[in-house]
């Protein structure tokens, strides 16, 4: 696997990034969502417990985002180690019923997922940009959706076989461990050496740079809190309308498929919009998608929300990270990526807990969906301020 080397090819870098995100995100972050109804059916936890585990996972995600900018390791070794942690922590969920151990496993998976995303973004996107293959950035980020969709399809098969939820965790964890071994044994890139922390500035940065950073970080963080409600509870929401797992279970593969297709379409067909305009339009679509099941709860509107959120959240992630690369001062790209990922993760910590409390109080997700939609729309205001690096 070649990430950022003098002889790296754009297709090789894109393929490596695709595979890493499929495991780091599709398994590390999103396997929990389709497994939550199965764990609930097995009598292992409640919806509120699931929200707590999801938030613990995103606490790990915050810590991983901060940690990623400070680790001194070769990117390949760092990514292989992160994928190994994802695999082992995922499989561990299936070999114990102890909530404290579950919490530790989900925390570790959160740390590893964030490290994977930040390091990968810092070392793959520049390869593709330098080669003039921005269209392949969509291929890289489609790994999130493809991994998510595959997890959902496998979960459908496991539910059809009436397998316990513990089997699902092991089925998802074991191939991830093998993928980490393959990544560790792949040929080393010729460069770039260590992943170094960003240098500490010796002089104060101009206020406009601080403002430019927060005009990206704030809406990115709010998006993390908005999309995560359906990204945590979508199958539970679908189950409220149709109890058959072989029907409501399709909500998650559809979510993943929308995510996979959206990034490729955005990279190839919507590049003329610019990062910020693409971001704004996608976030408005996401907000509208959340309103639909809140106002008209049904399986159809839940699926619509899955398509609206699945089809936009990875595109926003891609556009946001690309914009960070475009506007960050020299030597500060990875620090800005880490700051945005941290804000994103803070939103994800708050979202599942708040939605879980609302579900316990009202028996539904209408209120948190409406609040999330309002915040998603309101947070777009900072993106209207154009930085020096943003084209008109």
Length of the chain: 392
C-alpha span between 360 and 379 (Å, rounded): 27
C-alpha span between 254 and 311 (Å, rounded): 10
What is the full DSSP assignment across 30-75?
A: TSHHHHHHHHHHTTS--HHHHHHHHHHHHHHHHHHHHHHTT--B-H
CB 273 within 8 A of CB 281: yes
Backbone phi, psi, residue 73, to 5°: -145, 160
C-alpha span between 178 and 83 (Å, rounded): 9
Please name the residues in contact with 276: beta carbons below 8 A apart, sequence gap of 6 or more: 319, 323, 383, 386, 390
Among 223, 239, 355, 346, CA closest to 289: 223
Backbone phi, psi, residue 151, to 5°: -60, -45
Please name the residues in contact with 232: beta carbons below 8 A apart, sequence gap of 6 or more: 32, 33, 36, 50, 51, 54, 351, 352, 355
Q: What's the fold here for domain 10-188+208-380?
A: Growth Hormone; Chain: A; (1.20.1250)
Q: What averages of pLDDT result for each successive group of 10 residues across the chain (392 residues)?
A: 56 89 94 94 91 91 81 82 97 95 97 90 78 82 93 95 96 96 72 40 44 82 91 92 90 94 85 88 96 94 96 91 80 77 84 88 91 94 64 42
Please name the residues in contact with 210: beta carbons below 8 A apart, sequence gap of 6 or more: none
pLDDT at 385: 65
pLDDT at 386: 60
CB 36 within 8 A of CB 232: yes
Q: What does R_g of the chain's alpha carbons equal in angstroms? A: 20
C-alpha span between 223 and 317 (Å, rounded): 9
pLDDT at 279: 94
């Amino acid at each position: 696997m070649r990430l950022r080397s003098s002889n790296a090819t754009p297709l090789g870098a894109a393929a490596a990034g695709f595979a890493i995100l499929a495991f780091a995100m599709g398994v590390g972050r999103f396997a929990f969502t389709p497994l939550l109804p199965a764990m609930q059916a097995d009598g292992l936890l409640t919806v509120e417990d699931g929200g707590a585990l999801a938030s613990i996972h995103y606490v790990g995600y915050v810590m991983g985002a901060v940690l990623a900018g400070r680790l001194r390791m070769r990117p390949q070794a760092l990514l292989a180690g992160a994928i190994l942690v994802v695999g082992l922590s995922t499989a561990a969920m299936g070999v114990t019923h102890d909530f404290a151990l579950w919490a530790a496993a989900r925390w570790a998976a959160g740390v590893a997922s964030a490290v994977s995303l930040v390091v990968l973004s810092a070392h793959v996107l520049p390869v593709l940009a330098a080669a003039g293959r921005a269209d392949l950035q969509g291929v890289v980020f489609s790994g999130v959706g493809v991994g998510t969709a595959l997890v959902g399809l496998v979960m459908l098969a496991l539910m059809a076989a009436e397998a316990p939820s513990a089997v699902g965790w092991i089925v998802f964890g074991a191939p991830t461990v093998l993928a980490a071994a393959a990544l560790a044994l792949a040929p080393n890139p010729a460069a770039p050496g260590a992943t170094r922390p960003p240098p500490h500035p010796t002089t104060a940065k101009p206020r406009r740079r601080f403002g430019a950073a927060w005009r990206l970080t704030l809406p990115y963080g709010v998006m993390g809190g908005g999309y995560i409600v359906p990204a945590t509870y979508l199958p539970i929401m679908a189950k409220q309308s149709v109890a058959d797992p072989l029907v409501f279970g399709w909500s998650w593969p559809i979510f993943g498929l929308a995510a996979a297709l959206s990034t490729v379409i955005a990279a190839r067909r919507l590049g003329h919009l610019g990062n910020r305009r693409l971001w704004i339009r996608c976030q408005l679509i996401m907000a509208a998608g959340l309103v639909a099941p809140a106002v008209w709860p049904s399986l159809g509107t839940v699926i619509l929300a899955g398509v609206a959120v699945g089809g936009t959240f990875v595109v926003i992630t891609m556009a946001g990270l690309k914009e960070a690369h475009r506007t960050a001062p020299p030597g500060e790209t990875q620090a800005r990526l880490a700051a945005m990922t941290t804000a994103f993760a803070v939103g994800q910590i708050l979202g599942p807990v708040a939605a879980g409390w609302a579900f316990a109080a009202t028996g539904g997700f209408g209120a948190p969906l409406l609040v999330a939609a309002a915040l998603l729309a309101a947070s777009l205001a900072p993106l209207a301020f154009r930085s020096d690096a943003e084209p008109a």
